[in-house]
Amino acid sequence: MTERTINIMHAEPSGPELLDMAICGGTVVTATDTVRCDVGIKDGKVTVLERGLERRAAKTIRADGKLVLPGGIDAHCHLDQQSPTGLRHADDFYSGTRSAAGGGTTTIIPFANQKKGEPLRAAVEAYQARARGRAVVDYAFHMIVSDPNEQVIGQELPSLIREGYTSFKVFMTYDALRLSDRQMLDLLSLSNRERALLMVHAENHDCIEWLTDALKNAGNTEPRFHAVAHSAIAESEATYRAISLAEVAGASVMIVHVSSGRALEEIERAQRRGLRVFAETCPQYLVLTADHLDCCGFEGAKFVCSPPPRKGEDQEALWGGLDRGALQIFSSDHAPYRYDGPTGKKAGGDRVSFDRIVNGVPGLETRLPLLFSRGVQGGRIDLQQFVALTATNPARLYGLYPRKGTIAVGSDADIAIWDPDLDVTITHDRLHDAMDYTPYEGMTVRGWPVVTISRGEIVAEDGEVSTDAGRGLFLLEDRIPGAKTERFAGRLESRKNPLQ
Ligand code: URP
Ligand code: ZN
Ligand code: ZN
């Protein structure tokens, strides 16, 4: 973006009521309303929503013709983590949160990943140390539990949940991470008792292994076979099993990164039966297909993630799931492994078999523009749904609402001002992450956030991110155990949410 799109003016201070900032002339959108009003900000909070605030603020941002939306919450992203085979992410908490800010996201919830044999608290403390002094927007943590031993189940997890780490992810695949059904039952029962939320990576491990062996025995090793080995049937079977285990344990469950129509069918069947099943999808499953893995020899590795991008018909099914409210959350699953270099897709060389390519695609900065363009501008979802999926529902599900996820008096002034008509061609050089590619290179989107405000401070403007490392706050104290009961009481925002 070369043109200055927002006009900032400074007023003379005029008395005790002076606001720090006013966003004037824009259209404010929340998960329930679209209103023409100004937004007044004082001490990092929204303090007034009414027209005519221009003269009451030390600084005014003109937002005529723009949309004033809650800053995005990316409730599933990975920063400064190591892969199960020891490869390190390109993004740390500085580059990752800069990238978030550039794309209109003002809160992230990445993962503190427990290695087998490691105390869970040590994992949490290690990730706290990685974020401290680095993050430029606010953050909380989910935990990844890979070793639910007696100490973890009996002491560490209950006490961490009570401290405010109220969500954790488990895996049904990957040798270094996967849990047995019995272990999942223990954790689901614990999450129910402690009022936390368990998130599941649902893929059938043995099915993937069996297909992988069969493919390799037949000499099929190119990146495109990753999408064959990680079959949609393996995903839907594990999704059904995770839901069944949650039902046995009487717990809520969140199925993350749903990629296929088949898995979505299992989720909706459970929701129709009244089970507390929540679900997330991500840009790669709406915008990419398995054909991308077959684009160009080993470069198909750039699109290798699990579950993989699937078919056009799966994309259609997921759009329907977003519209119906069956999928409540839209996250990036940003997992930033470079293409080149010793810690990326080519770490094993550019001839390795698909099962040795590190899994994950980046997407923190492109998440919101892709959904806005394909979803809102494409006529598949409306603005309220966009805000619910990208900000309000993640805040409600993970206990950050109403401080985060909406624009209301008393909420943090986390705001993205969007130019809905700005055409942007995505190229990696305009993004702020530390990657060497974007899977969306060359795609054009309509709509991009032109100003991102975090707690009343402009952190990104017209494509430039300018903010200090370490200004991002850790949000532990805001995370309310049992946020799930609120959401099941029917407060998730969705026009057609079957849970309401
Ligand atoms: O391939 C992916 N999705 N990598 C990130 C880790 C995960 O499973 O979410
Ligand atoms: Zn996963
Ligand atoms: Zn992930």
CA of 284, nearest ligand number? 1
Phi-psi group of 289: left, alpha or beta (phi > 0 → left; psi -120 to 50 → alpha; rest → beta):
beta
CA of 303, nearest ligand number? 1
Bridge-partner residues for 168, per DSSP?
Answer: 143, 198
- Is residue 15 included in any domain, yes or no? no
CA of 360, nearest ligand number? 1
- Is residue 327 included in any domain, yes or no? yes
- Is residue 1 included in any domain, yes or no? no
Least confident window among 193-197, 226-230, 425-429, 452-456: 193-197
Query: What pLDDT does 481 receive?
Result: 63
Number of Cβ within a 10 Å radius of residue 17: 11
Q: Whose CA is nearest to atom 9 of ligand 1?
A: 333
CA angle 163-166-168, nearest 5°? 125
What is the C-alpha to C-alpha distance for residues 5 and 120, in angstroms, rounded to an integer?
Answer: 46
Query: What pLDDT does 3 receive?
Result: 34
What is the CATH number for 244? 3.20.20.140
Q: Find out whether the beta carbon of 266 lies less than 6 Å from any atom of ligand 1.
A: no
Residue 388: pLDDT over 90: yes
Query: What pLDDT does 479 receive?
Result: 67
pLDDT band of 478, cuts 50, 70, 90: low
Which tokens go with 247? 């039902």
Ligand 1 atom at minimum distance from 304 CA: 1
27-29 sheet: strands from edge to edge? 34-36, 27-29, 67-70, 415-425, 444-454, 457-461, 464-465
What is the C-alpha to C-alpha distance for residues 309 and 302, in angstroms, rounded to an integer?
Answer: 12
Ligand 1 atom at minimum distance from 78 CA: 5
Q: Find out whether the beta carbon of 359 lies less than 6 Å from any atom of ligand 1.
A: yes
Ligand 1 atom at minimum distance from 174 CA: 8
**CA 168 / ligand 2 centre spacing (Å):** 12
Q: Find out whether the beta carbon of 333 lies less than 6 Å from any atom of ligand 1.
A: yes
**CA 345 / ligand 3 centre spacing (Å):** 16
Residue 37: pLDDT over 50: yes
Query: What pLDDT does 5 receive?
Result: 40
Burial class for 185, CB neighbours closer than 10 Å (0-12, 13-18, 19+):
middle
Q: Whose CA is nearest to atom 2 of ligand 1?
A: 360
Residue 489: pLDDT over 80: no
pLDDT band of 85, cuts 50, 70, 90: confident
Q: What is the mean pLDDT of residues 291-309?
A: 98
pLDDT band of 480, cuts 50, 70, 90: low
Q: Find out whether the beta carbon of 38 lies less than 6 Å from any atom of ligand 1.
A: no
- Write the pLDDT tens digit of every residue in 231-279: 999 999 999 999 999 999 999 999 999 999 999 999 999 999 999 999 9
Q: Find out whether the beta carbon of 124 lies less than 6 Å from any atom of ligand 1.
A: no
Structural domain that includes position 122: 72-402
- Is residue 26 included in any domain, yes or no? no
Q: Find out whether the beta carbon of 89 lies less than 6 Å from any atom of ligand 1.
A: no
Q: Find out whether the beta carbon of 305 lies less than 6 Å from any atom of ligand 1.
A: yes
- Is residue 349 included in any domain, yes or no? yes
- Strand 138-139 to strand 105-108: parallel, antiparallel, or no bridges (unpaired)? parallel
Q: Find out whether the beta carbon of 26 lies less than 6 Å from any atom of ligand 1.
A: no
Query: What pLDDT does 10 receive?
Result: 52
Query: What pLDDT does 442 receive?
Result: 98
CA of 256, nearest ligand number? 2
Query: What pLDDT does 371 receive?
Result: 99
Say which residues have a Cβ less than 8 Å from residue 21's Cβ, sequence separation at least 6.
40, 41, 57, 58, 59, 60, 61, 413, 453, 456
Residue 124: pLDDT over 70: yes
Q: Find out whether the beta carbon of 360 lies less than 6 Å from any atom of ligand 1.
A: yes
Q: Find out whether the beta carbon of 227 lies less than 6 Å from any atom of ligand 1.
A: no
Q: What element of type H or E holds 59?
A: strand 57-62
**CA 359 / ligand 1 centre spacing (Å):** 6
Which tokens go with 435? 């990657």
Mean per-residue pLDDT over the chain, rounded? 93
- Is residue 14 included in any domain, yes or no? no
Which tokens go with 89? 């992410």
Say which residues have a Cβ less than 8 Å from residue 434's Cβ, sequence separation at least 6.
90, 91, 92, 95, 96, 336
**CA 65 / ligand 1 centre spacing (Å):** 38
Residue 13: pLDDT over 60: no
Query: What pLDDT does 17 receive?
Result: 73
Q: Which carries the bigger pLDDT value, residue 85 or residue 498? A: 85
Give the residue carrying structure tokens 């706050």. 473
Residue 201: pLDDT over 50: yes
Given a contact cutoff of 8 angstroms between Cβ atoms, the answer to whether 423 and 445 are in contact is yes
What is the C-alpha to C-alpha distance for residues 384 and 382, in angstroms, rounded to an integer?
Answer: 6
Q: Find out whether the beta carbon of 78 lies less than 6 Å from any atom of ligand 1.
A: yes
Query: What pLDDT does 492 receive?
Result: 55
Which tokens go with 286? 């709406």
Distances from the Cα of 382 to the Cα of 99, 322, 421, angstroms: 25, 11, 15
Query: What pLDDT does 493 receive?
Result: 54
Q: Whose CA is nearest to atom 4 of ligand 1?
A: 360
Query: What pLDDT does 275 receive?
Result: 95
- Write the pLDDT tens digit of every residue in 431-450: 999 999 999 999 999 999 99
Q: What is the DSSP string of 124-148?
A: HHHHHHHHTTT-SSEE--EEE-S--
Q: What is the mean pLDDT of residues 485-499?
A: 44
Short-list 277, 236, 241, 278, CA closest to 259: 236
Ligand 3 is an ion; residues with CB less than 5 A from it:
333
Ligand 1 atom at minimum distance from 76 CA: 9
Least confident window among 5-19, 41-55, 264-278, 365-379: 5-19
Q: What is the mean pLDDT of residues 113-120?
A: 96
pLDDT band of 80, cuts 50, 70, 90: very high
- Is residue 122 included in any domain, yes or no? yes
pLDDT band of 490, cuts 50, 70, 90: very low
Q: Find out whether the beta carbon of 121 lies less than 6 Å from any atom of ligand 1.
A: no
Q: Find out whether the beta carbon of 173 lies less than 6 Å from any atom of ligand 1.
A: no
Q: What is the DSSP string of 351-416?
A: T--GGGSPP-B--TTTHHHHHIIIIIITTSS-HHHHHIIIIIHHHHHTT-TTTSSS--TTSB--EE
pLDDT band of 483, cuts 50, 70, 90: low
**CA 63 / ligand 1 centre spacing (Å):** 37
Ligand 1 atom at minimum distance from 306 CA: 1
Q: Say what percent of the chain tops pLDDT 90.
A: 90
**CA 257 / ligand 3 centre spacing (Å):** 7
- Is residue 341 included in any domain, yes or no? yes
Please state the domain count of the chain: 1
